[in-house]
Amino acid sequence: MYTINNIYKSFFHRTILEDITFKVEQGDMIALLGKNGIGKSTLLRILGKISQPDKGTILYNDANIYKEKAIIRKGIFYLGHDVGLYPSLSALDNLKFACSIHGQRVKDTSIVSTLNQLGLSNRINDQIKIFSKGMLQGLKYALADLIDWEILFFDEPFSSLDLKGRKTAQGHIDKWIGNSKTMIFATHDPEWSLSYCSRLLLLDNRKLLFDQSTNEIDIKKIIKILR
Amino acid sequence: MKLFFSKRINVIVAVAVFTLMVFNIYNIINNTPMIPDQFWAQKIFYFHVPIAWTGFLSYFIVMIAGVLYLINKKTIWDHLGFAAAEIGTLFVVLVLITGPIWAKPIWGTWWTWEPRLTTTLILFLIYVGYFMLRTFGGHPERTSRYAAVLGIVAFFDVPIIFYSVRFWEERYQSHPQVEITKQNPEIIIPFLISLVIFTILFSFMLFYRVHVLRVTFNRKNN
Amino acid sequence: MFYTLVRKDLLLELRTKEIIIPMFAFGLAIIMIFSLSFNASQEINHAFSPGLLWIIILFISSLGLNRMFALEKEFDAFTLTLAAPIDRGIIFLSKAISGTILLLIAEIMIIPPFIIFMNLTIPSDWHIMILILLIGDLGIMAIGTIVSGLSMRAKLSEMLLPILFFPLVSPHIIACVKATNYWFKGLSFINWQAWIYLMLSFALVFFLLGFMIFEYITEE
């Protein structure tokens, strides 16, 4: 479904990613693990076509996302580490815009009910610049619920969330797992990765150290590398 | 360390280019006709115009290198684009200096908004921006790409600049001695010789500069 | 998609009012300074106003472009548009057209004070001036959007934008000033149609170029 071949990326002539290759199959729930600053966000940005690799190709359903027209990327949904929404627009306006540029016609009532589920019902028309970080993170989950995606790239799914927020977020993730959706999460939490993900990609020293399904992995080895 | 001049052939070519340029200057001083009313000042024409043409050629190369870099991202195109931008700007500055030196004795004024000079000035300003973009644009991988784009955009702007200035002020229509083909052979031949020699000099400078850029880049990253 | 993007830009302006009002205020300040510094006769004002008008438009466009792209940088909002399945050329078109609309509105607001403080008498066929403004704005925004894309992520982007923008747009401004000048003097269109064609070619060339090349400007 999503094939990544020989990705190289450097900044200021320092190589961050070297010869990254892997394949994502339908229904994979992948954790991209690695220390802070190792290049997880960079890799995810390349996968979402926010950033261009120096070398390498990416195929989505056998179409090269860098060569073909943009419409072949329909179904890819990228959620970055930053908010990725307009601070001066309301939650409702932002979500309406986001759904519409992803090719989705969504009724206002659906958006309102999704926001209600996240406890943001009385903030629908407020500019999101007054939202707390946790609420902003919640908006990303609202978007992921409203948009019909095939593959999700999520950078730090639990960042800025308190315990309650984490529980709600996990609820969403469980729902997606239940629907056999394909997802890649960038995270530095090995315990969560082993509990919930079917496959682990460990990024260290510019390369993918391993790429295995979680039942074959020894958690001690991972923690040692992450230290 | 690969010194450019440690290669025998490069030294030979450098000496040859130098000799050619000395010959060129000698030729211009001695073998060209003296134009009445203009005397020695007119001789700048044999430098000014070839330098202008090679400067523009250089900017054309920046555009080509830019397109090639965007297509296949090989660093050599980035080096070529940057080197051509540097040399082109150097030559353009020389045009902007020799222009007024030529203009003052002949037209009585240092500067006029004549189409060719004005286009050259605007092009110079655009390339000042180019070097600023290279410096402040961010990480090198990004600035190489952006510089390629700017080189392409600048090239497409040049004919528009030229035509807009040409129609702007009618009194600056004629550049003295504008019609080179209408001149007699005593002028045309030394001019063509100068043009060829300046092009050879330019090519050598470009080759040298690209080599230096490539070696420095490899040293820094290996 | 294109309409969604333009609509979003206009909605943003409606909510923040960070573009048109500052552009108008800045333009007004320039008019004030010019009137005070030169305190010229009506004749001189008439001679200078086409040029002065387009200088003002150039400066306020620079400001407007800066603000438009700054709005995209807050909260990294631009990533949302980049991640969506939209051709980058369409993003370019939407930005250039939104910019043209916002600039046109600011210009229409600036012109009455301009006429009053410069003490001008204008020809009766003012709809032609609107046309000149429109074509002028299209050219300005085409090249301006390309240059903003280049300088958006740079250090000192507020300084880099004008340095790149002004030389590149200068032939277009020459044509705009010429066209305005001839219209102002009341000459019929046949006399100065060449300038309009030059303005149109500039706009066309850079709309096409921007559409093809924006891909390379937006990615990190």
pLDDT tens sequence across C181-208: 999 888 877 778 889 999 999 999 999 9
Chain B nearest-CA distance from A155, in A, is 23
B139: left (phi over 0), alpha (psi -120 to 50) or beta: beta
How much of chain C, in percent, has pLDDT values that exceed 90?
70
Q: Compute CA distances C165 → B120, B125, B151, C64, C100, whole Å.
A: 17, 10, 14, 13, 16
- Contact partners of C by the rule of 3+ C-beta pairs under 8 A? A, B
A13-27, A78-92, A139-153, B176-190: segment of lowest average pLDDT:
B176-190
Give B41's pLDDT tier (boundaries 50, 70, 90). confident
Percent of chain C with pLDDT over 70: 100
pLDDT at B181 over 70: no
Closest chain B CA to residue A12:
B139
CA–CA–CA angle C134, C139, C143 (5° rounding): 145
Reported as a single tens digit per residue, the pLDDT across B72-97 is 888 999 999 999 999 999 999 999 99
pLDDT, residue C153, reads 87
The pairs formed by C209-212 with CB atoms below 8 angstroms and a separation of 24 or more are C209/B152, C209/B153, C209/B156, C209/C146, C210/C89, C210/C92, C210/C93, C210/C96, C210/C142, C210/C143, C210/C145, C210/C146, C211/C89, C211/C92, C211/C93, C212/C89
Which has the closest alpha carbon to C61: C170, C129, C144, C154? C144
- Residue B116 — pLDDT band, cuts 50, 70, 90? confident
Contacts of C136 (CB under 8 A, 6+ apart): C54, C57, C172, C176, C179, C199
Instruction: Measure C3 CA to nearest chain A CA, in Å.
Output: 10
pLDDT of A116 reads 87
- What is residue B96's predicted lDDT score, i.e. its pLDDT? 92
Q: Residue C132: which of C46, C58, C199 has the closest Cα?
A: C199
Whether residue C35 lies within 8 A of chain B, CB to CB, comes out as: no
The sign one gets for the Cα dihedral C213, C216, C219, C220 is negative
The DSSP element (H or E) to which A17 belongs, if any, is: strand A14-24
Question: For residue range A193-207, what is the model confidence (pLDDT) as tens digits?
Answer: 888 888 888 888 888
* Cβ atoms of residues A202 and A209 within 8 Å: yes
pLDDT of residue A202: 86
Q: DSSP letter at B35?
A: P
Task: Give the type of residue at A102.
Answer: H
Q: Is C86 on the interface with A (CB under 8 A)?
A: yes
Q: Cβ distance C32 to C117 under 8 Å?
A: yes
If you average pLDDT over every residue of chain C, what do you get?
Answer: 91
The sheet carrying A63-64 orders its strands as: A14-24, A2-11, A55-60, A63-64
Do A129 and A155 lie in one domain? The reply is no
Average of per-residue pLDDT across B9-19: 85
E strands of A51-190, at which residues? 55-60, 63-64, 76-79, 151-155, 182-187
- Give yes or no for residue B106 having a pLDDT over 80: no
- Shared domain for A154 and A52, answered yes or no, is yes
Tell me the C-alpha distance between C105 and C8, whole Å: 17
- Confidence class for position B182, pLDDT limits 50, 70, 90: low
At residue A101 the predicted structure's pLDDT band, cuts being 50, 70 and 90, is: very high
Instruction: Answer yes or no: do A220 and A125 share one domain.
Output: no
**Per-residue confidence (pLDDT) for residue B175, from 0 to 100:** 55
Tokens of C52: 């002065």
Q: Which of residues 173-202 of C touch B (CB under 8 A)?
A: 174-175, 178, 194-195, 198, 201-202
pLDDT surpasses 90 at B147: yes
pLDDT score recorded for residue B151: 95
**What is the average per-residue pLDDT within A52-61?**
90
CATH number, domain with residue A18: 3.40.50.300
- Of the candidates A149, A173, A205, which is a domain's last residue? A149
Q: Between A121 and C92, whose confidence is greater?
A: C92
pLDDT value, residue C188: 78
Q: What is the pLDDT of residues C95-105, one digit of tens each?
A: 999 999 999 99
B220/A contact by beta carbon, under 8 A: yes
- In chain B, the percentage of residues whose pLDDT exceeds 90 is 41
**Token pair of B169 as six digits:** 């002020």
One DSSP character per residue, A152-197 reads: EEEE-TTTT--HHHHHHHHHHHHHHHHTT-EEEEEES-HHHHHHH-
Gap between the Cα atoms of C91 and C93, Å rounded: 5
Contact A30, A196 (CB under 8 A): no
H-type helices in chain C, by residue range?
2-16, 20-38, 42-73, 78-83, 88-118, 126-151, 157-184, 189-218
Rounded distance, CA C142 to CA C207, Å? 5
Neighbour subunits, B (≥3 Cβ pairs < 8 A): A, C
CB contact under 8 A, C154 and B133: yes
Calpha distance B161→C58 (Å, rounded): 17
Distance CA B11, CA B13 (A): 5
Tokens for C139, please give them.
Answer: 């050219």
Residue A140 lies in a domain: yes
In this predicted structure, the answer to whether residue B132 has a pLDDT above a threshold of 90 is: yes
Section C150-159 average pLDDT: 87
Q: Does C51 touch chain B (CB under 8 A)?
A: no
Considering only residues B149 and C47, tell me which one the structure prediction assigns the higher pLDDT: B149
* Residue range C168-183, pLDDT digits in tens: 999 999 999 999 999 9
Assess C170–B contact: CB distance below 8 Å, yes or no.
yes
Check residue A90 and report its DSSP letter: B
Report the pLDDT value the prediction gives residue C145, as an integer from 0 to 100. Answer: 96
User: Sign of the CA dihedral B176, B181, B186, B190?
Assistant: positive
A223–chain C nearest CA distance, Å: 31
For residue A106, report the phi and psi dihedrals to the nearest 5 degrees. Answer: -120, 135
| A156 and A211 both lie in a single domain | yes
Q: What is the pLDDT of residue B27?
A: 81
Residue A192 forms part of a structural domain: yes
What's the pLDDT score for residue A157?
92
Does the CA dihedral A81-A82-A84-A85 come out positive or negative? positive
At A105-162, the pLDDT tens digits run: 888 888 888 888 888 888 888 899 899 999 999 999 999 999 999 999 999 999 888 8
Count of other CB atoms within 10 angstroms of residue A19: 14
Q: Which whole number is the average pLDDT over C15-39?
A: 90
Contact A12 B140 (CB under 8 A): yes
Q: What average pLDDT does this structure show over C112-127?
A: 87
> For position B7, what pLDDT does the model report?
78
Residue A174 placed within a domain = no
Q: For chain C, report the end-to-end CA distance as a whole number of angstroms.
A: 23
pTM score, whole prediction: 0.91
Q: How many domains does chain A have?
A: 2
Q: Are strands A207-213 and A199-204 parallel, antiparallel or unpaired?
A: antiparallel
Q: What is the mean pLDDT of residues A73-92?
A: 92
Q: Which two tokens stand for residue B208?
A: 């040298």
For tokens 């094939």, what's the residue? A3
**Residue B38 pLDDT more than 70?**
no
Q: Where are the domains of chain B?
A: 4-221
Q: How far apart are the C-alpha atoms of C150 and C80, rounded to whole Å?
A: 19
Q: What is the mean pLDDT of residues A37-46?
A: 90
Segment B57-66 shows an average pLDDT of 95
Contacts of C216 in chain B (CB under 8 A): 70, 145-146, 148-149
Burial track A20-35 (b if 16+ CB lie within 10 A, e otherwise): bebebeeebbbbbbbe
State how far residue B153 is from chain C, nearest Cα, in angstroms.
8
A187: left (phi over 0), alpha (psi -120 to 50) or beta: beta
Q: Is B56 exposed, middle or buried (0-12, 13-18, 19+ CB in 10 A)?
A: buried
User: What's the mean pLDDT in C27-48?
Assistant: 87
Co-location of A67 and A88 in the same domain: no
Q: Flag whether A176 is in a domain.
A: no
DSSP result, C61-83: HHHHHHHHHHHHHGGGTHHHHHH
Q: Identify the domain containing residue A222 by its residue range.
A: 1-75+150-160+181-227
Per-residue model confidence (pLDDT) at position B180:
55
Q: Does C171 touch chain B (CB under 8 A)?
A: yes
Kindly state whether residues A21 and A110 are assigned to the same domain: no
The whole-chain average pLDDT of chain B stands at: 85
Do A66 and A20 share a domain, yes or no? Answer: yes
Most confident of the ranges B175-179, C31-35, C82-86 = C82-86
Neighbours of B220 (CB within 10 A): 8
% helix / strand / coil in chain A, to the nearest 5?
40, 30, 35
B42 pLDDT above the threshold of 80: no
pLDDT band at B170 (very low <50, low <70, confident <90, very high): low
Rounded to whole angstroms, the Cα distance separating C148 from C165 reads 8
Percent of chain A surpassing pLDDT 70? 99
The stretch C61-87 carries a mean pLDDT of: 93
Mean pLDDT of chain A: 88
**Per-residue confidence (pLDDT) for residue C40, from 0 to 100:** 77
Q: Is B221 in contact with A13 (Cβ distance < 8 A)?
A: yes
Confidence of residue B167 (pLDDT cuts 50, 70, 90): confident
Residue C47 structure tokens: 């001679």
Distance CA A53, CA A9 (A): 5
Mean pLDDT of C16-28: 93
